[in-house]
Chains A and B, each alone.
Chain A
Amino acid sequence: MHWNSWQDFWAMGGHGLYVWGAYAVTLAVVVTEVVILLVKRKSILEHLGRLTRLHRRREAPQRK
């Protein structure tokens, strides 16, 4: 550990903009990918739920 202070850490020896620019955008891209994945999965499950209910409503009278 060679950092003396938080200020020191964020400055990255004068390369802060480059180092943190690289890390921040990487994090943003990964978080965006995860959010898209979860939203997509949820919307498909909801669509599947609607299909299932539709299917049941159509089948119900025939069974009796």
Chain B
Amino acid sequence: MHPQTRVLHPTAFGTSGLWRALRPRDLFEPARRLVPWFAVIALVLALAGLHLGLIVAPPAQDQGDAFRIVFIHVPAAWMSLAIFVVMAALSAATLAMRHRLAPILASALAPTGATFAFVTLWTGALWGRPTWGSWWAWDARLTSALLLFLLYLAIIATQMAIEDIRRADRSTAILSLVGVVNVPVVYFSVQWWNTLHQSTGIALNVPAASTAIAIAGTGLLTLACIAYATAATLLRAQSTILERERRSPWATHLRDSDALE
């Protein structure tokens, strides 16, 4: 019943068995060590990307400097989709394998996914106003992106509302697996329906050299977002692990050894 009473069978250590055998606490120390590295990588990549996007890149011919919103909007949109897919995969592990680390990572990903989904909507509105003349439209892309954000909020609320941890994990896992259907809808909406939203991310009316700069800037900021999401998720997972194992001798020992200061 209690998490640490589970005994590991030697055969559990196969290639996929190792992942199955991982306990929540096994992630704690690696997470603690990795967070500062990912944070520094995120900062460096973000500064390089912002330098390209705000200083080096020339304005686009058709929409001037408003196009610079692309450097946050597109990476944030990609992240909001990618995080949901990872969360759904972890949810499958939670339900099918009764994995105990997977739900911790999934619940740690949700708030960061919600952050990116919100940033996508916000920057989209501020980009839409000067280029389309409208903050918002109920077209397929925008509506499905809003639904993505609401799904993240529903997942976070479910996790918080259900007191029994196992039940909360299972409920959010089911919600993630149902909600992941919306991810391809968001992605392909611009092809499937007639939308106000343009069909591709970087189809800007700029010379080839400028397009290369725009792609490089977007790429750097996407990598920065991946590093940031990793750092934020591992930091959040640490809190969840401590919270879930606070009564175990492991947590007491951890505190005694002052490894946390």
A interface residues (Cβ-Cβ under 8 A, vs B):
1-3, 9, 12-15, 18-19, 21-23, 25-26, 29-30, 33-34, 37-38, 40-41, 44-45, 47-49, 51-52, 55
Q: A26-B119, A30-B115, A45-B260 are in contact. List 20 more A-B contacts (CB 8 A).
A: A2-B59, A9-B54, A12-B66, A13-B59, A15-B130, A18-B127, A19-B68, A19-B126, A25-B119, A26-B72, A26-B76, A29-B119, A33-B115, A40-B239, A41-B235, A41-B242, A44-B239, A44-B242, A45-B255, A51-B246
Question: Which residue of B has the minimal Cβ distance to A37?
Answer: B235
Given A13-B64, A44-B243, A18 contacting B69 (CB threshold 8 A)? yes
Given A23-B72, A52-B255, A14 contacting B232 (CB threshold 8 A)? no
B217 at the interface (CB under 8 A from A): no
Mask: chain B, 229-243; 1 = CB below 8 Å from A; 0 = not: 000100110110011
Report the interface size for chain B: residues with CB under 8 A from the other chain.
40
Q: Are A55 and B112 in contact (CB under 8 A)?
A: no
Q: Are A26 and B122 in contact (CB under 8 A)?
A: yes
Min C-beta distance of A34 to chain B, whole Å? 7
Residue picked from A1, A3, A12, most chain B C-beta under 10 Å: A12
Main secondary structure of the interface of A (DSSP, over half): helix
6 A–B pairs (Cβ distance < 8 Å), ordered by A: A3-B55, A12-B66, A18-B129, A19-B66, A40-B236, A45-B255
Residue picked from A3, A9, A48, most chain B C-beta under 10 Å: A48
Q: Are A33 and B232 in contact (CB under 8 A)?
A: yes
B247 at the interface (CB under 8 A from A): yes
Given A3-B55, A15-B64, A48 contacting B255 (CB threshold 8 A)? yes
Min C-beta distance of A38 to chain B, whole Å? 8
Residue picked from A14, A22, A33, A40, most chain B C-beta under 10 Å: A22
Residue picked from B58, B69, B246, most chain A C-beta under 10 Å: B69
Q: Are A51 and B69 in contact (CB under 8 A)?
A: no
Question: Which residue of B has the minimal Cβ distance to A51?
Answer: B246
Min C-beta distance of B127 to chain A, whole Å? 7
Q: Are A37 and B123 in contact (CB under 8 A)?
A: no
Mask: chain B, 58-100; 1 = CB below 8 Å from A; 0 = not: 1100001110110011001000000000000000000000000
Cα A58 to Cα B79 in complex, Å, equals 48
Partner of B252, one of A13, A44, A47, A55: A55
Q: Are B243 and A19 in contact (CB under 8 A)?
A: no
> Which A residues are CB-close (under 8 A) to B130?
15, 18
B179 at the interface (CB under 8 A from A): no
Q: Are B68 and A29 in contact (CB under 8 A)?
A: no
Question: Which residue of B has the minimal Cβ distance to A18?
Answer: B126
Q: Are B232 and A22 in contact (CB under 8 A)?
A: no
Q: Are A34 and B242 in contact (CB under 8 A)?
A: no
Given A15-B130, A19-B65, A48 contacting B119 (CB threshold 8 A)? no
Q: Are A45 and B242 in contact (CB under 8 A)?
A: yes
Partner of B232, one of A12, A18, A37, A48: A37
Q: Are B58 and A2 in contact (CB under 8 A)?
A: yes
